[in-house]
Amino acid sequence: MAAAPRHVMIRRVVWWWYLVPIVPILALGYAALTNMLPSWALLVALFAFFMWLMSLVFTVFRTVMQRFGANKEPRQ
């Protein structure tokens, strides 16, 4: 019998981890712009940057909505 799936939710966001991936993404973009890498590497860097940005935006949105939702008292 298989166990029921667990609900995994991150309770606290570690914002410093959003700085870690942007450094290699920017380095990849810079290397592609200065012709140290082929031009298609710039497309990879742009794709990675937009994925990173959307992840950051969704996390900020979730955190803000969670904070505003936690302060409301239930109406009866």
* Residue 46: how many other CB atoms lie within 10 Å: 14
Q: DSSP letter at 39?
A: T
What is the domain extent for residue 23?
16-68
CA distance 53 to 61: 12
Tell me the pTM. 0.74
Longest dimension (CA), the chain: 65
Whether residue 7 is contained in a domain is answered as no
Whether residue 22 is contained in a domain is answered as yes
Task: Extract the runs of DSSP E, i.e. beta strands, from the chain.
Answer: none
What pLDDT is recorded for position 67?
82
Structural domains of the chain, count: 1
What is the tens place of the pLDDT at every residue in 20-50? 999 999 999 999 999 999 999 999 999 999 9
